[in-house]
């Protein structure tokens, strides 16, 4: 049982980053997901839990708003229940250099490498619960994703769709999750 009071991400905070803008204009401001921050702390790291109920946002599967990190900080996710798709993209001077996704299920670990923006998608009909370890010093940057109307790909009921606000987007590729926690967690500290 999670005891902390959640921070709730509402649709109004997400409208700019959604694929189906016609739907977004008409939809009521409902809660989309719940972030329980600082469940525990250890060695300068913070442990959070995010709960993402199953939902369609028009033609797109529900997702987190997505962000990158200021500095060289990584992050480590663990799927506690449900199924997820983690989407990653790396910017360099306004261009997307790399984009990939990882499908993960309960027990899988997904490291977020430094300098990659990332979002988490719930593509299933069940609630998704994920946890993450991140440095307490790490700050999130939502601006670049908002300015571009979301990530360079959206995951919709028709599959992956390119975001037309980006130019010269690389083809998306698939990577595998890790079955166990990485032994070296230095990437979380921005080293």
87 inside domain: yes
186 inside domain: no
* Ranges in the chain, pLDDT < 50: 1
Q: Where are the alpha helices (DSSP H) in 27-169?
A: 143-147
116 inside domain: yes
Task: For Cα atoms 156, 103, 5, give the angle at the middle one, nearest 5 degrees.
Answer: 85
| Residue labelled with tokens 């694929």 | 19
Q: What is the predicted pLDDT for the residue at 191?
A: 80
180 inside domain: no
Q: What is the predicted pLDDT for the residue at 91?
A: 87
Cα-Cα-Cα-Cα dihedral sign, residues 118, 21, 26, 83: negative
Rounded distance, CA 86 to CA 127, Å?
Answer: 15
Select from 118, 119, 113 the least CA-distant residue to 190.
113
Q: What is the predicted pLDDT for the residue at 2?
A: 56
81 inside domain: yes
* Domain total of the chain: 1
Domain extent, residue 102, equals: 7-175
Report the CATH number at residue 82: 2.60.120.10
List pLDDT tens digits, range 163-178: 999 988 999 999 999 9
Select from 52, 67, 56 the least CA-distant residue to 150.
67
142 inside domain: yes
134 inside domain: yes
130 inside domain: yes
Burial code of 109-146, b = ≥16 C-beta within 10 A, e = fewer? bbbbebbbbbbbbbbeeeebbbebbbbeebeeeeeebb
Strand partners, 121: 63, 85
Cα-Cα-Cα-Cα dihedral sign, residues 41, 42, 43, 46: negative
């Amino acid at each position: 049982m999670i005891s902390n009071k959640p921070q709730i991400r509402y649709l109004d905070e997400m409208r700019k980053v959604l694929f189906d803008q016609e739907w977004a204009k008409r939809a009521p401001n409902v809660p989309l997901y719940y972030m329980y921050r600082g469940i525990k702390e250890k060695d300068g790291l913070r442990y959070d839990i995010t709960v993402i109920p199953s939902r369609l946002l028009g033609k797109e599967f529900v997702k987190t708003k997505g962000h990158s990190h200021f500095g060289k900080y990584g992050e480590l996710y663990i799927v506690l229940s449900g199924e997820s798709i983690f989407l990653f993209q790396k910017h360099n001077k306004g261009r997307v250099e790399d984009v990939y996704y990882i499908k993960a299920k309960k027990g899988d670990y997904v490291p977020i490498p430094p300098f990659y923006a990332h979002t988490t998608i719930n593509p299933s009909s069940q609630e998704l619960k994920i946890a993450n370890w991140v440095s307490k010093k790490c700050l999130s940057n939502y601006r670049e994703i908002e300015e571009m109307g979301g990530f360079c790909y959206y995951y919709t009921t028709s599959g992956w769709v390119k975001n037309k606000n980006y130019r010269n987007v690389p083809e998306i590729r698939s990577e595998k999750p890790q079955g166990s926690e990485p032994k070296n967690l230095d990437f979380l500290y921005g080293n």
